[in-house]
Chains A and B, each alone.
Chain A
Amino acid sequence: MVSLNQLVAVCLMYVAGLFIVAFAAERAALRGRGGWLLRSPLIYTLSLSIYCTAWTFYGAVGYAARSGLEYVTIYLGPSLVMIGWWWGLRRLVRIGRSHRVTSIADLISSRYGKSNALAIVVTVMAVIGVTPYIALQLQSVILSLSIFAAPNMPLAEAGGDVINRGQAALWVAAGLTLFTVLFGTRNLNVNERHHGVVIAIAVEAVVKLLALVAVGVYVIWGLAGGLSETLTRIDASDIGQWEVQGSRWAALTMLSGAALLCLPRMFQVMVVENDDERQLQIASWAFPLYLMLMSLFVVPIAVVGLDLMPEGSNPDLFVLSLPLSQGQNGLAMLSFLGGFSSATSMVIVATLALSTMVSNHIVMPIWLALRREGATQSGDVRNIVILARRLSIFCVVGLGYLYYRASGGSGALAAIGTISFGGVAQFLPAMLGGVLWRGATRAGALWGLGTGFALWVFTMLLPSFGADVALSSATLEHGLWGLAWLRPEALFGVTGIDPTVHAVVWSLSLNTLAFVVVSLFSFPAPLERLQGAQFVNVFDHSGPARGWTASVAGSEDLMIMAQRILGAVEAQAFFTREAERQGHGARLPEPTPRFVQALERELAASVGAATAHAMVAQIVGGASVSVQDLLAVADESAQMLEYSSQLETKSRELTETAAQLRTANEKLTQLSLQKDSFLSQISHELRTPMTSIRSFSEILRDAPKLSDADKNRYASIIHSETIRLTRLLDDLLDLSVLENGQVTLNQRKGSLRDLLDLAVITAQAGAARPLEVQRDLQAEDITLYSDLDRLVQVFINLVTNARKYCAAAVPQLVITPRVEPDGLVIDFVDNGQGIDAASEALIFEKFSRITGEGDGAGLGLAICREIMLRLGGEISFLGDLPGTAFRVKLPASAVSQVHPSA
């Protein structure tokens, strides 16, 4: 017979062993050794086994003894969720890692725009939902202790006389608190993970599995006498038939699956403590295997227990009382340690998870709000956070203890567990919706959570206390305020459903409905939309949401704050690393948005996303992204667009200018070439007469015997050459005056006929071969108002050209003037051979002589063109007529001004 003292001694030794293991793991992790073990998928899978609490260790047997195979649903749901890891868990784990999520409240608040209100709601709900569960663990430990204390008492529940239950529970609670405080708040950064705790619960997982399997093996082969005998016995027992209601079967499977995702402690070990997705992959088959082994022997133990144990024994404790009644003290001890392990590991992790949530989302925000001077001011935030977390641990365990004392340890274990599951399952729509659906909004989440939670409290939690405790029996019978459709167990008049199914279905479906509908009709804030996109598309871009406009944030301020949260050494290391990454040697990095974002992420791992956000916001100033900021950004980009289009226009203009400049340059080059050729031609033109003048004057001077006739001839040659020179110089002067625009027009009236008369006479004067000029005297009766002298000059030039260059046998020139709407047109057409097309372009150029004969300098037509330009008209060559044809045009003003008087 094991005495209570022996038991306590073994128990203490076991706890001491756990302490040592945890301590060693912490040390190893600190030195960077043993990483393969700490990060191994085996440890991860075993740590998941905190799902199996004392409720499942002891309670499953009791559950099976009462309702047959229904207990197995509690394991089926989680198994399905794990097997379907690809759909949900993989996403959660990735999000948890990339956003450094610290708890389920942190995940939900972070997803919905780092809303602290949401975090508080989730935290409060989690505390209310999980506290009974912690009480349940205390109760199970005390119950199992009392069995040892009073083994001979048929009603094990009556062991209260032997040990002081309250005191024992207090001791257990104190021990658990100590362990959690020691190993759970050792390091602040949750993402550094609690290696000690994880290793300890892995050890406990092995112990509880071994214990249950050992008891099962003993029962089947030791007591029942083999497998087939056991099965026969099972079929013959009270629970020998399948009698699970279908609705309960489905609802409980779903509920337990949801609970696996939503329980804060499960979230802690599954997401927060995970550091490799491969661990999850292995757990996808290893965890169902573990669960299967845990539930395999439940029915045999229950059936044999029902057979062997005296009437009225508590079936919840068969695992313990069965070996004890058979005198198997060692097995009973192992079994006790298994149950003890289940209870303690659950309490430790649940407390850890809850205290993280409470301190990050309730204590820290209040503390920050109370200290108006902000996060940069005096006081070590790091200590405050750790203190807050330790206080939260005390509070959570204390609440569990108080609940245990208040409830008096009554009620079947399983019932409390289901209620707790129902409570935390309310997180499911907001969590899964937020992770899978970008349209989910904060308002939707708040409404969904509120609706679900209220319904859960009303239909599940309050009725569980029994009539007239929390709800009056009148309310239970006739509904709230006497409204029949508000009966807690028959909402909206739907009766005849199992209360658990009723509560689960109503609360979860209305929760989901409220969540979806409010989400559809509300509009998320900018930060919320950013976070939503990041969460839903976590596999596309695991990068952080940029958004801090950090120009005002001083790196020093951030440093001071980070030091007080992360610790001086860690913060400095972080800042140095960031400075190196930014690529300059300074000790402090620039407060770029990227850096501030990384810092916030780092802080979030210690104090949660919402608090970290608030603290950084205090220093950086304002929320990271407000609508105003977005508008400003939009404004800025619009301005930039405009600016760039302006630049584009300017550059186009520049291109055009450049093209113009290029053209001008080409023109200048051409002009320069023209000038050069002009000069060379001028000198050539001047040289020819000068040469003959010089040679003839030399003859006159040097030849002594010259006849008078010769002298006369030579002198006249010199004379005519000087005349030619003078004419050339006159022409050049004329041209230069005309080209420079220095000419002053001497406008007056005159008759065209007179002008032509003068021109023909002048041109024909002294001509050896007269030109026959045909004129239309009738048409020539036009009075002009122009510079008549210049005009005559043009006409003379044209008539002279015709006379000189017309090669016809009988040279003829036809002059036809006519008045057109836009002025006077005079054509000069001779019957010569014309000018070939190649030369047409050149005839108006200076010194252009087509044939090479003649005595002109080739300036005549150039002068004509200049004169006509000055007179506002033009002169052109008509190439399409036979012979050489020129057309002179005078503007209408030269004609019309005189018409009234004519």
Chain B
Amino acid sequence: MPRTPIFLEKRSYRQRRMMDAVRLMPFLGLMLWMVPLLWPLPEATPAPGTDDAAMPMSVALRYLFGVWALLTLASWALWRRTRSIASGEGPAESVDGPR
């Protein structure tokens, strides 16, 4: 069995990094979409002087859908760059494969 090379030429290297990005994408999405957990709730901010701290709906909408559009766009861009490799590859291409 031929050994896989430790270092790759630039093109394959780039493709592998793109696949890494594909794999990391859902975690980025999860992180961004769990940000609302940090937003103050109207009931949770009874302290005087901070009663206007509740997050307005329009901001929340913009944020959530902005993230959504960003993720979709990024996924689309990654698909453009990885579509030739991602479907054909086997298990050898694991997360800790050749760098």
Tell me the minimal C-beta distance from B13 to chain A in angstroms. 19
Q: Known: A242-B39, A282-B79. Contact between A277 and B87, CB under 8 A? A: yes
Q: Within 8 Å of chain A (Cβ to Cβ): is B36?
A: yes
Tell me if B87 and A69 are in contact (CB < 8 A): no
CB-based contact A539/B75 at 8 Å: no
Q: Whose C-beta in chain B lies nearest to the C-beta of A230?
A: B58
Give B62-99 interface residues, CB cut-off 8 Å to A: 64-65, 68-69, 71-73, 75-76, 79, 82-83, 86-87, 90-91
Whether B57 lies near A80 (C-beta < 8 A) is no
| C-alpha gap A235/B54 in the complex (Å) | 11
Give, as a whole number of angstroms, the nearest-CB distance from B41 to chain A: 6
Contact between chains at B61 and A299 (CB < 8 Å): yes
Residues in B with CB closer than 8 Å to A466 are none
Q: Which of B41, B56, B72, B79 contacts A281 (CB 8 A)?
A: B79
Q: Which of A237, A242, A244, A288 contacts B75 (CB 8 A)?
A: A288
The reply to whether the CB of A172 lies closer than 8 angstroms to some CB of chain B is no
Q: For window 205-252 of chain A, which residues contact chain B by CB distance below 8 Å?
A: 231-232, 234-235, 237, 239-246, 249-250
Q: Which residues on the B side are within 8 Å of A253 (C-beta)?
A: 33-34
Partner of A234 from B27, B57, B64, B69 at Cβ < 8 Å: B57
**Minimum distance in angstroms from A12 CB to a CB of chain B:** 37
Q: At the interface, yes or no: A86 with Cβ under 8 Å from chain B? A: yes
- Interface residue A72 (Cβ < 8 Å from any Cβ of B): yes
CA distance A635 to B29 in the complex (A): 55
A282-B79, A285-B72, A539-B90 are contacts. A241–B29 as well, Cβ < 8 Å?
A: no
CB-CB nearest in chain A for B59 = A242
**B56 contacts which of A242, A245, A276, A285 (Cβ < 8 Å)?**
A242
- Compute how far the CA of A79 lies from the CA of B43 in the bound complex, rounded to whole angstroms: 30
Known: A83-B71, A281-B86. A72 touches B64 (CB 8 A): yes
> In the bound complex, do residue B60 and residue A79 qualify as a contact, i.e. CB atoms below 8 Å apart?
no
In this assembly, does B37 line the interface, its C-beta being within 8 Å of a C-beta of chain A? Answer: yes
Cα A540 to Cα B91 in complex, Å, equals: 6
- For B54, list chain A residues within 8 Å (CB): 241-243
B8 at the interface (CB under 8 A from A): no
Determine whether the beta carbon of B91 is less than 8 Å from that of A243. no
One of B26, B57, B82, B87 near A83 (C-beta < 8 A)? B26
Chain A: which residue is nearest B27 at the CB level?
A84
Q: What residue of chain B has the Cβ atom nearest to residue A73's Cβ?
A: B33
A249 near B79 (CB under 8 angstroms)?
A: no
A285 touches B42 (CB 8 A): no
Once A86-B23, A540-B91 are accepted as A-B contacts, the answer to whether A292 and B57 lie under 8 Å apart by CB is no
Known pairs A292-B72, A540-B91; A242 contacts B41 (CB<8 A): yes
Q: Are B65 and A292 in contact (CB under 8 A)?
A: yes
A285 vs B80: C-alpha distance when bound (angstroms): 11
Contact B90 A288 (CB under 8 A): no
Q: How far is the CA of A277 from the CA of B64 in the complex (A)?
A: 29
Q: How far is the CB of B60 from chain A (nearest CB, A)?
A: 5
The listed residue (B23, B27, B41) touching A243 by CB distance below 8 A is B41
Q: Does A278 interact with chain B (Cβ within 8 Å)?
A: yes
Residue among B40, B72, B73 having the largest count of chain A Cβ atoms under 10 Å: B72
- Residues of A near B68 (CB, < 8 A) are 79, 288, 292
Query: Which residues in chain B, 1-39, are within 8 Å of chain A measured between CB atoms?
Result: 19, 22-23, 25-27, 29-30, 33-34, 36-37, 39
Across the interface, do B55 and A242 meet the contact criterion of CB distance under 8 Å? yes
Would you list the 10 A-B pairs with minimal beta carbon distance, nearest first? A84-B26, A242-B55, A285-B75, A539-B91, A231-B58, A246-B37, A285-B76, A241-B54, A277-B87, A292-B68
